[in-house]
Structure 1
Amino acid sequence: MGEETPALPADLGPVRSALIEWYERSHREYPWRRTEDPYEILVSEVMSQQTQLGRVVDAWRGFLERWPTVEALAAADRADVVGFWSDHSLGYNNRAKYLHEAAGQVCTEHDGEFPETPEDLEELMGVGPYTANAVASFAFNDGNAVVDTNVKRVLYRAFDVPDDDTAFGRAAEELLPDGRSRVWNNAIMELGGVACEKTPGCDREGCPWREWCHAYQTGDFTAPDVPTQPAFEGSRRQMRGRVVSTLREYDELPLDGLGPRVRVDYAPDGEYGREWLRGLLEDLADDGLVEVDSADGTVVVRLRR
């Protein structure tokens, strides 16, 4: 599987531009996104491991008030750092110990200056490949493509990349624009965290990749971190995908005009008839994908823009 070539669009320019423009137009405002200080970014990355970002904000601010520089943290009593970690329910206390030790390394081995490449950052205690790459990207704009769970979900759904770490890494690197790791890695992680969550909000969040997205076109939103769904052929997932694909061809369709295009055996009063189709449309409407209007006794369906 690792040898497969991801089916990325031939022209990546519009794909990249669409995502960056979407991100720059509207994204979640976390304070660490407004700094390029590698110490502040490292603290945010370590705190964010398996912790909801909304809960990290106050802890991050409090931590930096108490230890505002890498030198201050290196000089701190380790018990105080671990105590802060525990008081703020930030997960495993060894992360606090490693962060304290990494601060000491920066001060003693690098004269207080953070390494700038992922390879050098990974030499710091407790800093793995993902965290090293994130700090290199967000602090120095000199990272590789970040591949976390959110990014894997996006690549799997959007471009049908196989569930294989090598394939994910290759696709992520190919998508990464030269010299733009800071904005790109923020943007693709934001896409996975906002529009392409386990339950996607494609239209609700204005996903910029809908026109290329395999999942959006088929209605199959399975992903590596989403439970495997039942057989696709003849499933509601397949029918939902046909509804979306059909409506992409037409501005709008009446219920009985849509039905036969979704199932050839559609019959208004049959097993696969209006009641069955309305059920599909209710699901799609709940997901923010379609709009269903009734006017003059006629039910009209359209994609939600």
Structure 2
Amino acid sequence: MSESASSLPDDLDSVRRALVEWYEGDHRKFPWRETTNPYEILVSEVMSQQTQLDRVVAAFADFVERWPDVERLAAADRSAVVGFWSDHSLGYNNRARYLHEAAGQVVAEFDGEFPENPDDLQELQGVGPYTANAVASFAFDNGNAVVDTNVKRVLYRAFDMPDDDAAFEDAAGELLPDDESRVWNNAIMELGGVACTKTPACDEESCPWRGWCGAYATGDFSAPDVPTQSPFEGSRRQFRGRVVRVLGEYDELALSELGPRVRVDYTPEGEHGRDWLRGLLADLEDDGLVALDTDGETSARLRR
């Protein structure tokens, strides 16, 4: 095991289970997530390169309606494919040309059957390691760990990974459960796409890794693609807001129940425990927002 992978939490089974359960409980619905057709998945992956997903959804539906399988795309006039790409604002037109050439390769060199592993998929025109891995994972459940910008951001923040491609690859590979590349790669990319975004939404999206996450504990949400620390995330101001929001749902709440609702890593005797919570409450009491019980040790309520 590499040094970067060894810095992962000891209870990897719990880490994996938490993420998969979070993903399977609720995730964004995209048509390419509802299929294991390698042709459709390749089309979606090529379209999604540096293109907003809401634009891809409409273009994807139109594309597979016009060219529903690899044979018909291979037989299409290249200018029509490139014209479609341009008309749908899908970015660089050479992606359309490469996709068309790849379809021709599948028909001519692989008898119309897509290769099933990442190495063979990279023989297709325009298919690099990331796209090959994605198609192998989502079509055949036969991929390695996918490492894109979102995944790097998640690993950097959650497990204090160095900003180093080899370290990210090692850690992602160590986290990947055996024979579950389809659900795992979807899940970790979804985490980076909706919860661990450039401006994180840890609590709003119920991030399943808050209990392990170094960024959540420290409030430093910088990342390789987020060079400056957010002035709000992890600040006392943020947690004061959480206290007010939680107390707004109750007439009165014991401090022992309030703490875990304010931050997922709350432990009474820990760094972010009773003393830390009392400090927040004292500030809010001084501001006239919160009322404490007589000794200030047991419960709190919001002033109405």
TM-score bracket for this pair, using the shorter chain length:
0.7 to 0.9
Provide the rounded CA distance (Å) in 2 between the counterparts of 1:245 and 1:202. 10
Say whether 1:294 aligns with 2:290: yes
Say whether 1:258 aligns with 2:279: yes
Aligned to 2:247: none
Provide the rounded CA distance (Å) in 1 between the counterparts of 2:140 and 2:47. 20
Say whether 1:248 aligns with 2:266: yes
SS at match of 2:290: strand
Shift of 1:195: 0.5
Q: CA RMSD in A?
A: 3.2
Shift of 1:228: 3.0
Structure 1 regions of 5+ residues with no counterpart? 261-267, 269-273, 279-291
1:145–1:181 CA contact under 8 A, matched in 2: yes
After superposition, the Cα gap between the structure-2 partners of 1:246 and 1:10, relative to the gap in structure 1 and judged at 3 Å, is closer
Provide the rounded CA distance (Å) in 1 between the counterparts of 2:211 and 2:8. 13
Paired residues for 1:69-108 under 5 Å: 69-108=69-108
Residues 196-233 of structure 1, C-alpha deviations (whole Å, 9 max, x = no match): 00010101100000110010111110100002339xxx
Moved over 4 A (4+): 2-6, 235-247, 250-256, 295-302
Shift of 1:70: 0.1
Residues 123-156 of structure 1, C-alpha deviations (whole Å, 9 max, x = no match): 1000000000000000000000000000000000
Aligned to 1:169: 169
Provide the rounded CA distance (Å) in 2 between the counterparts of 1:256 and 1:20. 31
Provide the rounded CA distance (Å) in 2 between the counterparts of 1:28 and 1:246. 24
2:73–2:103 CA contact under 8 A, matched in 1: yes
Say whether 1:156 aligns with 2:174: no
Provide the rounded CA distance (Å) in 1 between the counterparts of 2:55 and 2:208. 28
How many residues align? The count is: 271
SS at match of 1:249: coil
Provide the rounded CA distance (Å) in 1 between the counterparts of 2:38 and 2:54. 21
1:217–1:241 CA contact under 8 A, matched in 2: no
Stretch of structure 1 that moved more, 157-166 or 249-258: 249-258
Shift of 1:88: 0.2
Aligned to 1:34: 34
After superposition, the Cα gap between the structure-2 partners of 1:247 and 1:15, relative to the gap in structure 1 and judged at 3 Å, is closer
1:220–1:241 CA contact under 8 A, matched in 2: no
Provide the rounded CA distance (Å) in 1 between the counterparts of 2:190 and 2:301. 31
After superposition, the Cα gap between the structure-2 partners of 1:253 and 1:13, relative to the gap in structure 1 and judged at 3 Å, is closer
1:71–1:107 CA contact under 8 A, matched in 2: yes
2:292–2:301 CA contact under 8 A, matched in 1: no
Q: TM-score, normalised by structure 2?
A: 0.80
Paired residues for 1:1-305 under 5 Å: 4-229=4-229, 240=236, 248-250=266-268, 257-259=278-280, 274=283, 294-295=290-291
Shift of 1:55: 1.1
Shift of 1:249: 2.8
Shift of 1:54: 1.3
SS at match of 1:106: helix
SS at match of 1:215: helix
Q: What code does the residue aligned with 1:195 have?
A: A
Provide the rounded CA distance (Å) in 2 between the counterparts of 1:167 and 1:210. 21
Q: What code does the residue aligned with 1:294 have?
A: V
After superposition, the Cα gap between the structure-2 partners of 1:4 and 1:209, relative to the gap in structure 1 and judged at 3 Å, is closer
Identity across the alignment (%)? 66
Q: What code does the residue aligned with 2:157 have?
A: R
Provide the rounded CA distance (Å) in 1 between the counterparts of 2:6 and 2:163. 11
Provide the rounded CA distance (Å) in 2 between the counterparts of 1:110 and 1:183. 27
1:144–1:173 CA contact under 8 A, matched in 2: yes
Shift of 1:175: 0.1
Q: What code does the residue aligned with 1:158 have?
A: A
Shift of 1:294: 3.2
2:42–2:135 CA contact under 8 A, matched in 1: yes
Residues 82-101 of structure 1, C-alpha deviations (whole Å, 9 max, x = no match): 00000000000000000000
